Structure 1
Amino acid sequence: MSGLPVADRAAVRRATVDLIARDRWAVARLLALHVAAAVAALAAPWLLGRIVDSVGSGAGVATVDRLALAIGGGVLAHGLLARYAQYAGHRFGERAVARLREEFVARTLALPVSVVERAGTGDLAVRSSVDVTTVGATVRDVLPVVVIASAQLSLLLGAVFLLHPLLGVVALAGLPPIWAVTRWYLRRAGAAYLAEGAAAAELTDALTTTAEGARTVEALRLADERVRHGVGRIRRVWETRRATLALRSVYFPGVEASYPLPIAAVLLVGGFFLSRGAVTLGEVVAAALYLQQAIEPLDRLLQWMEQAQRGFASFARVLGVGQVPPEPRGAASAPAGQGLVVRGARFAYADGPDVLHGIDLAVRPGERLAVVGPSGAGKSTLARLLAGIDAPREGVVSLGGCPVTDLDPAERRRGIALVTQEHHVFIGSLRDNLAFAAPGAASDERMRAALAAVGADWYADLPDGLDTQLGDGARELGAAEAQQLALARLVLADPHTLILDEATAALDPTTARRTERALAAVLAGRTVIAIAHRLNTAHDADRVAVLEDGRITELGSHDELVRAGGAYAALWRSWHG
C-alpha cells in the first residue's frame, strides 16, 4: 500500500497563516477582547500592592475601600471581557473548521481513482475522520488558547518590569529551563505524532479489509492469519502511543517543576533589595502575585501544547491530500469520434511486472465487444485503461483519435462509464442514490424507467417509492439489488461507451440474463465492452476478444472463434459441459 503524502512544516505554517488571514477581522476582534481581558486582570495585583503600600504609609480606611472597590471593578471587567472573548474564539473556530472540512471534501473528491486505490481505505478514512476532527479541535480550542495565553504571559512579565526592572530581570529565572525542555519536546513531537497517525491508518486499513472480506476469510480459514495481522497493527499503534506518552512524561514534569522558580527568586531577591530601599514591599508583593497569576496561562500552554502538536501533525496529513497531483486537464474538451483504439499498450502496477503486454485493439462505435479469459489474465486492468482510470506504461489508448489521457476528466467520464462488480449504496433516499448520476436531468419518470430497464422489480415493494431511505438504519439492499441500482445509475448517466467489468456478477444466472437482455434493449446503439465471466454474454456480442497472460490471443465473432477450435472454443465447450 502506498500512502498519501504528508505536508511539510513550511506548508503547515503557510496553511495556518492562511486559515487565520481569511478571517483576520474576527481574529483581530478576538485578540483585542483577550488583550483587554488580560489588561483588566493586571489591575488586581497592582491595586493590592498599592493597598499594602498605603497601609504601610498610614493611609485611611477610605483609601483602602476605594482601592478595594477598584479591584472588584477590575475582576468584573475581566470576567465580562473573557466571556465575550471566548465566545468570539469559538465562532472563529467553527467557521474555520467548516471551511477546512469543505476544502478537504473537495480535495478528496478530486483525487484520481488510481491514487485512492493505491493508498488504501485506512489512510483516507483516518484523515477524513480522526485527523479532520483533531484539526478542528485545534483550530477551535488550541490556537486561541496558545495565542491568548502567550499574550497574557507577555503582559504579566511586562507588568513586573514596569513595577521595577530589577524584579523583571529576576522574574525571567524560570524561562531557561522551560525553553530547554520545550525545545527538546518540539524536536521530537512532530515525527512521533505523524508516526502515531500512520499507525492508526494501518490499523484501520487492516480492520476494514478484514471486515469487507469476512466471507473470504471464513471460507479460506484465514481467521488466525488475519488476527495475527491485526495484532501486529495494534502493537504498532501501542508502540507509537507509548513513544508520545514518553515525550509527555518528560515535558510536563519538566515545565511544571520550573513554575516556583521565578516566584522564589522574586521573593528572595526582592527581600534583599527591600532591605536596601531599592524596592517597596508593595512592589515585591505585586510582582509575586503577577508571577503566581502567570502560572495559569503557562499551565494552559503546557496542557494545550501536546494537543497543538497532535493537531499540527493531523493538519499535515489533511493538507497532504491536496498535494496529490490532480488528474491532468487535457487540452481536448471533446473527442472527434467515439471509437476506442488501443495501440501497443503495456501496463504494470507500481514497480511490478507488466500485466498487459503490447495490447492492440480497436472497438468500433456501437459495437458490442466481450472480453473473456482466465482469472488473472488482465481483463479488469484492460477495462481500467479503456476507461482512462489508469494510463498505459507504453502505448496509447485513444477515443475518437484523441488520447484518453488528453481529454478533460469530466468530458471523459460523461462519455465513458465503467461499472464493476463493486458497488456502493449511499445513505439517503433512493432518489438521492439515483439523481447524482445525472444532476439536474434525472426526473422521477426517468429514474423509474431506469430501474425498470435493469429489472429492479424490488422497487415496487418499497414503502415510500423513490423517497425510501437506504443505508445503515434504514432499508438495506442486498448485493444483487445494489448492483441493479448501480446499473440504473448507468442508464441515467447515458454515456456513449460502457465498460461492464462483470457488472452482473452478484446476480443469480436467471436475474443476470434478464438484466443483460433489458440493458441490451436500453443501450442499443452504444458501444459496450463487457468483461464476461458468463459466456452467454460473449455469445450475444458482435466480437469476442480472448485475453490470456496479458495478451489478446484471439479476436472474432462467437461463431468464428468456435469454428477456429482455439482457446475460446475450449472455454465454450467447458461452459456447456
Structure 2
Amino acid sequence: MSTTTDLPVADPPEVRRAAWRLLRSRPGVLTAVIALHVSAAVTGLAGPWLLGHLIDDVRKGTTNAGIDRIALLIAGFVVVNAVVTRFARYVSFRFGETLLAELRESFIGRSLSLPLSTVERAGTGDLMTRSSQDVDALGSSIRFAVPEMLVGVVTLLLTFVAMVTLSPILALTSLVGAPVLFLVTRWYLRRARLIYLRDGRVRSGLSEALATTVEGARTIEALGLQERRVERGYATLKDFHDVRMSALRLRTVWFPITEFTYLVPLAAILLVGGVLYANDLATIGAVTAGALYVNQIIEPLDRLLAWTEQLQIGSTSFARVLGVGKVPADRTEHGLDPEDDRLAATDVRYAYAGGHDVLHGVDITIRPGERLAMVGPSGAGKSTLGRLLAGVDGPRTGSVSVGGVDVTGLPLGELRRRIALVTQEHHVFLGTLRDNLALARPDATDAEIYQALASVDADWAADLDGGLDTELGSGGYEPSPAQAQQIALARLVLADPHTLVLDEATSLLDPRAARHLERSLAAVLEGRTVIAIAHRLHTAHDADRVAVVSGGRIAELGSHDELIAADRDYAALWRSWRS
C-alpha cells in the first residue's frame, strides 16, 4: 500500500478567480484580442447578409453592375475577414504564450518553496505529473482552447444579433436546440471534472510507480520483487484504463446529442422561414440569409463545444497546478536569533503520516564543535532523528532548538546557513560542474570551488577536459555514484554551515576511500559541529561521543572508550564489526 499523500487541489471558485486575475494582468492586450475577434466576426457576417440582399435584388430585378458590385463586396469582406482573423489569432496566441510563461515561472517558484517534508510525503510522481503533464495540458488550453472559444463565443453572439436585425422570429427559431444543448453540456461538465481530477491522481500514481521502479531497479532485482512491481504496474494501468473509459462513456453521450442539436435549428429555420415567406412575412433573401447564418454558426459552435472538453481538462490541470500553492508552510517564523550554536532535542516524539511514533521521548544536547556519531540497527530511528535535528521535519511533541530557539521557527535561509543535512541520496543537476557547486554559494570563485573539490578528494575534477565548464548529466560527463557523492560534499564545504548532519554521506564510497575522505573532511570541518549517522563504526571511534539509537530511543551515550567499557549494545556492535 502506498504511503504517499496527494498534494492539494484548488476548488472551482479559486480556479475562476485565478484565471480572471491572470487575464486581467495585461488589460491592454486582452482588450486588443477581444476587439480583433469582434472585428473578425463582424466581417464574417457580411457575406450571408449581402447574399440575401442579392437574392432579393435579383427577384426584384437588378443590373449586372449591381450584381458585380455585391459580388466584389462579398469578395472584399472575405479577404478582410481572412486578414483580421489571422492577425487576431496571432495576437491571441502571443497573449496565451505570455500567460503560459508566467504560469510556468509561478509554478516553479511555488514548487521550490514547498516544504521538503511535504514533497517527500507526496512522492515524486504527483509533483512530476503536475510539472509536466498538467502544465502541458494547461498550455494547450491557453494556447488553443481559450482563443478558439473566444472566437466561437463572439461569433455566436454577433451572428444572433445579425439574425435579430434580419428577423426576430427567425432568430428565436434558431434557438430551438439550445435547451437540449445546455442541459446535456451541463450534465457532461459536472461529471467530467471529477473524472479528470481522478485521471490526474491516476497519472501521478503511474509516474510514481514508474519512477520508483526505475530508481530502485537493482534493489528490486536483488530482493526478487520483480513480480510484485509488475503486478503493481498492471493495477495502476488498470486504474488508468478505467478512468479513460469513464471519460469515453461521457463523450459517447455528449457528442451524439450535440451533433443532433446542430441539425434541428437549420430544419426549423427552413420550415418556419417557408411559412413566413408564404404569408409575406419574410423575403426569400431573409430566409436564405437566416439559413446561411444558422449553417455558419455550426462550425464555431462545434469548435466551441469540442474545445470545452479541452478547457475542462485544462481547468482540472489548472486546479492541480494552483493546488501546489495551497500547501501550508511547515514553519512559523518567530524572528528570534539563536544565542549560540548549541543544538538540543528535548522530549522529542515523531510519527510518519499519522502512524505510530518512531521516536519516543528523545533527549540529547550537542555542544558547539562536537563530533557526535549516531549508530544502531536499521530502522532504529537514526535518520529520522537526524532530519529533526536538521530542521527538515518538526517533532510531533517536544522541541528541537539551536541556541535556545526552535529550529522550525527560523527562516529557512537562516536555518540552512546554520545547519545542513547531507544524505546518501545525491543529485547531479543538468549544467556545468561549476553550476552544480555554485548552488551552495553563487559568489564562490573558481579557486574556492577547486579547493572544496580537493577537500573531498575529488581529484578527477582537475582532469576534466572542460574543467569547471564541463557539462554534467545526460549528453555530458556522467559522474559515478561516488563522484556524485563527492560533488554533494563539496557543496557542503562551500555552504560552510556551522552544524552538519551527515546521514551515511560516504556510503557509496568503498571503505578505504570513505576512510580517507573522512580524514580529509575532518580538517575542513574542524571547529564545526558534526552529527554523523554511520554504519561504519570507525566513524564512531573517531567521534567525541557516540549515541546508540535503538527502538526510537537513545539507549547509550558516551565516548567510544566509555561505551566499550560499559559492555552493552555498542560494545557488541563494535566486536561484531571488528570480527
TM-score range, shorter chain: over 0.9
Match of 1:459 in 2: 461
Equivalence for 1:543: 545
CA RMSD of aligned residues (A): 0.9
1:476 alignment partner in structure 2: 478
Q: Deviations over 1:375-403 (max 9, x none)?
A: 11100000000011111111110000101
2:88 corresponds to: 85
User: Is contact 1:334–1:411 with CA below 8 Å preserved after alignment?
Assistant: no
Select which of 52, 55, 63 maps to 1:52. Answer: 55
- 1:316 matched residue in structure 2: 319
- CA deviations over 1:539-569 (Å, ceiling 9, x no partner): 1001111111011111111111111111111
CA distance in 1, matches of 2:186, 2:548: 65
| 1:330 paired residue number | 333
What is the identity, as a one-letter code, of the residue corresponding to 2:12? Answer: R
Q: Distance in 1 between matches of 2:142 and 2:19?
A: 9
Q: CA deviation at 1:333?
A: 5.3
* Match in the other structure for 1:246: 249
Alignment of 1:114-513 (within 5 A): 114-332=117-335, 334-440=337-443, 442-513=444-515
**Does 357-366 or 471-480 show the bigger shift?**
471-480
After the TM superposition, which parts of structure 1 deviate over 4 Å for at least 4 consecutive aligned residues? none
Choose the corresponding residue for 1:70, options 73, 89, 96: 73
Instruction: Supply the distance in 2 between the matched residues of 1:394 and 1:58 (Cα, whole angstroms).
Output: 95
**Paired amino acid for 1:458:** W
One-letter amino acid of the counterpart of residue 185, structure 1: Y
Q: 2:336, 2:405 within 8 Å by CA — same for their partners in 1?
A: no
Partner Cα distance (1:169, 1:99) in 2: 43
CA contact (8 A) 2:503 2:534 kept: yes
Cα distance, 1:331 vs. partner? 2.1
Cα distance in 2 for partners of 1:273, 1:253 equals 31
1:17 to 5, 11, 20: 20
Report the AA paired with residue 528 of structure 2.
R
8 Å CA contact 1:6–1:316 kept in 2: the answer is yes
The offset of 1:37, in angstroms, is 0.6
| Counterparts of 2:331 and 2:555, CA distance in 1 | 33
Q: Residue 334 of structure 1: CA displacement?
A: 3.3
CA distance in 2, matches of 1:185, 1:342: 55
Tell me if structure 2 keeps the 8 A contact 1:161–1:167. Answer: yes
Q: Report the Cα offset of residue 326 of structure 1.
A: 2.3
Q: Quick check: 245-254 or 541-550, which moved more?
A: 245-254
Q: Is the 8 A contact 1:335 1:407 kept in 2?
A: no
Q: Deviations over 1:403-432 (max 9, x none)?
A: 111111110011100000000000111000
Q: Which amino acid aligns with 1:354?
A: D
In 1, are the aligned partners of 2:56 and 2:285 still within 8 Å (CA)? yes
Aligned partner letter, 1:427: L
Name the amino acid aligned to 2:572: A
What does the per-residue CA deviation read over 1:9-54, in whole Å, with 9 as the maximum and x for residues that have no partner? 0111111111101012111100100100100011010000000000
Secondary structure of the corresponding residue to residue 259 of structure 1:
helix
Task: Please say which of residues 458-467 and 396-405 is displaced more in the overlay.
Answer: 458-467
Contact 2:270/2:291 (8 A) holds in 1: yes
The answer for the alignment partner of 2:562 in structure 1 is 560
TM-score (norm 1): 0.99
Which amino acid letter does the alignment assign opposite residue 27 of structure 2? R
SS state of the match for residue 554, structure 2?
Answer: strand
Alignment partner of 1:525 is 2:555:
no
- Read off the aligned partner of 1:400 and give its amino acid letter: G
**SS of residue matched to 2:177:** helix
Shift of 1:59: 1.5
Is 1:5 the counterpart of 2:5 in the alignment? Answer: no
Work out the CA distance in 2 between the residues paired with 1:287 and 1:533.
84
In the alignment, the residues of structure 2 paired with residue 473 and residue 313 of structure 1 have an alpha-carbon distance, to the nearest angstrom, of 35
* SS of 2:211 mapped into structure 1: helix
Conserved in 2, the CA contact under 8 Å of 1:501 and 1:530? yes
Contact 1:544 1:558 in 2 (8 A): yes
**1:478-518: per-residue Cα shift (whole Å, max 9, x none)?**
11110011000000000000000000000000110111011
Query: 1-side partners of 2:83 and 2:330: how far apart?
Result: 52
Q: Deviations over 1:105-132 (max 9, x none)?
A: 0000000000000001111100000001
SS of equivalent to 1:322: helix
Identity %: 56
Q: Which moved more, 1:136-145 or 1:88-97?
A: 136-145
Distance 2:386 2:456 in 1: 22
Could you tell me how far apart the structure 2 residues matched to 1:119 and 1:333 are?
A: 31
Q: What's the CA shift string for 1:174-208, capped at 9, x where partnerless?
A: 21221121111111010011111111110110111
Q: In 2, are the aligned partners of 1:333 and 1:408 still within 8 Å (CA)?
A: no
1:461 Cα deviation from its structure 2 partner: 2.3
CA distance in 2 between partners of 1:461 and 1:234 (Å)? 47
Distance in 2 between the 1:136 and 1:326 partners? 28
Q: Distance in 2 between matches of 1:326 and 1:565?
A: 45
The answer as to whether partners of 2:482 and 2:509 remain within 8 angstroms in 1 is: yes
Contact residue 134 and residue 320 of structure 2 kept, 8 A: yes
Greater Cα shift, 552-561 or 323-332: 323-332
2:80 and 2:489 map into 1 onto residues whose CA distance is 66
Following TM superposition, by how much is the alpha carbon of 1:328 offset from its aligned partner in structure 2, in angstroms?
A: 2.6
Give the Å deviation of 1:329: 4.2
CA distance in 2, matches of 1:344, 1:327: 20
Counterparts of 2:44 and 2:329 in 1: how far apart (Å)?
51
TM-score normalised by the chain length of structure 2:
0.99
Aligned partner of residue 334 in structure 1, secondary structure: coil
Task: Kindly indicate whether the alpha-carbon contact (under 8 Å) linking 1:327 and 1:409 is maintained by their aligned counterparts in 2.
Answer: no
